Structure 1
Amino acid sequence: MAKKTSKDRVAMIVAVVAIILIIVMSMTSNQREEMTVVERWIGNIVTPLQRTVSASTNVVAENARAIVQFSSIKASNEQLKEDIAIIQREMIDLRLERNELEELRELKHALNYIEEQENYQPIAANIIGKNPGNWFNTFTINVGRKHNVSKNDIVLEANGLVGRVYEAGDYWAKVVSIVDHNSSVSFQLLRDNTQQGILSGSITSELTGYLFDPLAEVVVGDKLVTSVLGVYPQGIVIGEVVEVAKSSDQLLKTVVVEPEVNFTRMSKVIVMKSLEQEGN
């Protein structure tokens, strides 16, 4: 009896559910201007869920787009940095090439000092090392015996006399400049070649010297050039007189000279190889 009652109850529930489904289907099968209470009830439940799902979907999509855009911008920035680095390197290379070209053009002026001398071969060189301190008293260049450079070859710069080679290897040479305390150079006044003397370097890299004639007329501002008495060809610019005085015994007229070459800043020089010396 109990089993029968339970079966009847299940059958009744199934029948009620079937009837409800039929009613719902009939109500939603046709177009209507107004919704039923059931439809409104279902809509009130479903709509908020749709809004939540839609908003979540939009947030996810926006985040996805932002991630993609960020990745794209980051890649573009990295590429831009690489392009800027390349451009900067190219600009530096061009600037170095331009500076080197200007230096070489300036060095051509040095040849004018001895352009009449056909027994010299010019050899361009870069300075690759120097003595400690601010002055280029002694320094090393990147040419040597393999480039036909040898001891006592003359070294010039665009503005005038630098010094001479005192030691040469196969691919390098060492130069002692006229401002070194071990150097000396004979000179003459540019405006009067009969007035001659000797200049020497010093530990303070100054050029000081005296004229052979104690009565020589020399004044501040006089230009000095090499004379025929020394190891250098005549007529190479040395510097300008900045001070004139008498020696303590009044027997010599002394001078202090500012070199024409800037011995605190050099990068290129010209070695003048004597072809006569090579022949010997």
Structure 2
Amino acid sequence: MQILARWKRPLILAGAVSFPLLIGAAHPPLAEQVRSLTTSALGPFLGLQSGLVLFLKSQTQTLLELPSLRERNVELQTQIQDLKAQLTQFDEMKSENTRLVSLLQLKADLPKSAVAAHVVGRDPSHWSHYITIDKGSKQGVHEDTVLLHPDGLVGKVISGGPFTSRAILLVDRHSRVSAMNQRTRDVGLIEGTDALDLRMTYLDRDAKIEVGDTVVSSGLGGIYPKGIPIGKVLMIGEADDDLMLYAIVKPFVPFSRLEEVLCVSKQTVD
């Protein structure tokens, strides 16, 4: 009995292996049917096994490549940031080129030489509007030199040195410019308001000024040349004494975005 117990499992295994062989030798058709049934039964499991092997192989390859993929991703991110910086720089150069072309066109309309300058400083006070430009007496810029922009009148130089100058903007409350209505020729005085708008005062009560009219410099006073665009009339009202009219004028020059100006003297424009 002990001998049989010892050889029980090997005998069963041998029988399981030899039985199909004996069937295949004795009855080939029956063996084919058994093989077909076995294949059909085991097919899904074999497919699952194959898919699992491919999946594990793919994941293993991914894990092996992960460090190099991370490194490549960092390189691509760096390249993207560099390209964005270059694009921003290109847009800035394009914008500056457009502004400088406009200044050159304005300079070409003047009969004599004029000096282009960059705005290199602004007064930090909210109660005044002054700028510093990178041109001074060495470049022919002196006190009362008029500053122009392709859109119109900017202001004038009030002080300076050899290489820089300080100028007051038209919108400063201390700024005064003799001006006139381009359409009706009515004369008044443009005053700064320390805001984005200007105020045209001392208009005759019978003036034919209308909303939408263009205001230009009158040439009176000996500093600002005649005919330089200043702005457009937004509103008209009566002065406190009821003897005069006043007008609110929106300047043509974008003072909050001023970056370049053209420095000219009255004689240059005349």
What's the TM-score bracket when you normalise by the shorter of the two chains?
0.5 to 0.7
Q: What is the TM-score when the length of structure 1 is the normalising length?
A: 0.66
Q: CA deviation at 1:203?
A: 3.9
| Contact 1:127–1:142 (CA under 8 A) maintained in structure 2 | yes
State the Cα distance separating 1:146 from its structure 2 match: 3.0
Q: For 1:139 and 1:213, locate their aligned partners in 2 and report how far apart those are by CA, in whole Å.
A: 33
Give the match for residue 102 of structure 2. 106
Query: Do residues 93 (structure 1) and 89 (structure 2) align?
Result: yes
Q: Supply the distance in 2 between the matched residues of 1:162 and 1:80 (Cα, whole angstroms).
A: 46
Task: Evaluate the alpha carbon distance shift between residue 66 and residue 144 of structure 1 in structure 2; reply closer, same or farther with a 3 A threshold.
Answer: same
Query: Are the counterparts in 2 of residues 150 and 165 from structure 1 also a CA contact under 8 Å?
Result: yes
Q: Is the 8 A contact 1:110 1:159 kept in 2?
A: no
Superposed, 1:47-58 pairs within 5 Å as none
| Counterparts of 1:274 and 1:137, CA distance in 2 | 22
Structure 2 length-normalised TM: 0.68
Structure 2: how far apart are the matches of 1:137 and 1:257?
17
Q: Which amino acid aligns with 1:197?
A: G
1:223·1:240 contact (CA, 8 Å) conserved in 2? yes
Equivalent runs, 1:210-229 vs 2, <5 Å: 210-211=201-202, 213-229=204-220
2:119 pairs, out of 116, 127, 146, with 127
Distance 1:155 1:102 in 2: 19
Asked if structure 2 preserves the Cα contact closer than 8 Å seen for 1:141 and 1:174, the reply is yes
Match of 2:229 in 1: 237
Aligned residues: 212
Q: Distance in 2 between matches of 1:64 and 1:243?
A: 76
Letter in 1 for 2:261: V
Q: 1:79 aligns with which of 61, 75, 89?
A: 75
How many Å separate the matches in 1 of 2:59 and 2:198?
Answer: 76
Alignment counterpart, residue 240 of structure 2, candidates 243, 248, 255: 248
Asked if structure 1 preserves the Cα contact closer than 8 Å seen for 2:146 and 2:157, the reply is: yes
Q: Which deviations, in whole Å up to 9, do the C-alpha atoms of 1:35-71 show, x marking residues without a partner?
A: xxxxxxxxxxxxxxxxxxxxxxxxxxx9997676233
Q: Which amino acid is 1:249 matched to? A: D
- Find the counterpart in structure 2 of residue 149 from structure 1: 141
Structure 1 pair 74/197, CA: closer, same or farther in 2 (3 Å)?
Answer: same
SS of the counterpart of 1:244?
A: strand
Amino acid at match of 2:177: V
Query: Counterpart of 1:45?
Result: none
Corresponding residue SS for 1:228: coil
Number of the residue aligned with 1:3: none
CA displacement, residues 217-276 of structure 1 (integer Å, 9 cap, x when unaligned): 111111110112131111111111122222233322222211111222222222224667
2:171 alignment partner in structure 1: 179
Aligned CA-pair RMSD: 3.0
Corresponding residue SS for 1:264: helix
Preserved CA contact (<8 Å) 1:130 1:136? no
Larger mean Cα displacement after TM superposition, 203-212 or 259-268: 203-212
Q: CA 1:266 to 1:136, structure 2 compared with 1: closer, same or farther past 3 Å?
A: farther
Please report how far the alpha carbon of residue 134 of structure 1 lies from its aligned counterpart in structure 2 after TM superposition.
6.9
- Amino acid aligned to 1:81: Q
CA distance 1:106–1:238, shift in 2 (3 Å):
same
The CA distance in 1 between the partners of 2:259 and 2:175, in whole Å, is: 21
Q: Distance in 1 between matches of 2:254 and 2:127?
A: 9
